[in-house]
């Protein structure tokens, strides 16, 4: 059986191949992705007209896993006015002076919008856990706190799709090297990337817990093999398209009787 994408049962990350292609071929898949992205653009127009629902896409992954690239691809045909993208960096002093979800809730997309989280509240059980930025008594309670938070969002009209972009350690090396060698990519390189890379196994363990503890039906994790960018972009586009379609979006009914109006 091919490896599942949607995480519904307990998984072991080491059983998943980051270079999996599901038998797809590159050129045909790229074409299919384009079709899906255009459909997403059309569906977004309807979402935008609805003011009681929103879509939240959460992207997580190691450095160079392709979070920026996946965001760019997913949003290729959408109207930028209807998109809220949030990038989560190390928290500021002001953010650290609040509970960990404070900064997150503020940037949840408004109704009618598609929101993309490039990193997210999951950093608070990933980098925070691996680098011991908070004690275990603090981060270990966060899985349940995150589930409660996402449940509140889901019950408030949010469709939540979470994608873990799973690259191999080898592919990360190739991409980080390119950041060192290519002047157009130098700006993306940070010394800290190598510190994180050195903790690869600890991060994989922490990701494993995230996938196994925080994937309820209303806020599923998807494990995206991300060594191949064209596979990554296709799988995300397909899932987002499907989610927007299953929202059964309609054009809102006019608020008043339009038959009484004439435009002269």
Residues forming contacts to ligand AMP in the complex (CB under 6 A) are 63, 88-91, 119, 123-124, 127-128, 133, 192
117 binds, among Mg ion, ligand AMP, none (CB under 5 to 8 A by kind): none
Residue 31 or 68 with smaller CB distance to Mg ion:
68
Total chain residues near Mg ion (CB under 5 A): 1
CB of 163 vs ligand AMP, minimal distance in Å:
15
Other CB atoms closer than 10 Å to residue 207's CB: what's the count? 22
Residue 47 or 127 with smaller CB distance to ligand AMP:
127
Residue 63 or 227 with smaller CB distance to ligand AMP:
63
Residue 64 or 244 with smaller CB distance to ligand AMP:
64
127 binds, among ligand AMP, Mg ion, none (CB under 5 to 8 A by kind): ligand AMP
Residue 68 or 245 with smaller CB distance to ligand AMP:
68
Contact pattern for Mg ion over residues 39 through 68, marking x by CB under 5 A = ------------------------x-----
> Which residues contact Mg ion by CB under 5 A?
63
């Amino acid at each position: 059986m091919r490896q599942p994408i949607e995480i519904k049962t307990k998984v072991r990350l080491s059983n998943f191949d980051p270079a999996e292609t599901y038998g797809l071929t590159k050129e045909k898949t790229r074409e299919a992705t384009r079709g899906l992205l255009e459909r997403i653009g059309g569906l977004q127009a309807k979402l935008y007209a609805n003011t009681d629902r929103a879509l939240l896409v959460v992207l997580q992954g190691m450095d160079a896993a392709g979070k920026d690239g996946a965001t760019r691809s997913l949003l290729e045909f959408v109207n930028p006015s209807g998109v809220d993208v949030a990038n989560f960096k190390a928290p500021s002093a002001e953010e650290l002076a609040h509970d960990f979800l404070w900064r997150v809730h503020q940037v949840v997309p408004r109704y009618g919008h598609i929101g993309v989280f490039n990193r997210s509240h999951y950093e608070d059980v990933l980098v925070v856990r691996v680098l011991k930025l908070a004690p275990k008594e603090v981060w270990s309670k966060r899985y349940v706190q995150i589930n409660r938070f996402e449940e509140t969002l889901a019950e408030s009209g949010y469709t939540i799709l979470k994608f873990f972009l799973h690259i191999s350690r080898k592919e990360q090396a190739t991409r980080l090297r390119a950041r060192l060698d290519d002047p157009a990519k130098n700006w993306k390189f940070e010394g800290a990337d190598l510190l994180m890379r050195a903790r690869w196994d600890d991060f994989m363990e922490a990701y494993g817990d995230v996938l196994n503890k925080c994937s309820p039906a209303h806020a599923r994790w998807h494990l995206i093999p991300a060594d191949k960018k064209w596979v990554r972009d296709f799988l995300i586009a397909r899932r987002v398209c499907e989610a927007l379609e299953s929202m059964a979006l309609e054009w809102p009914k006019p608020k008043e009787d339009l038959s009484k109006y004439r435009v002269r």
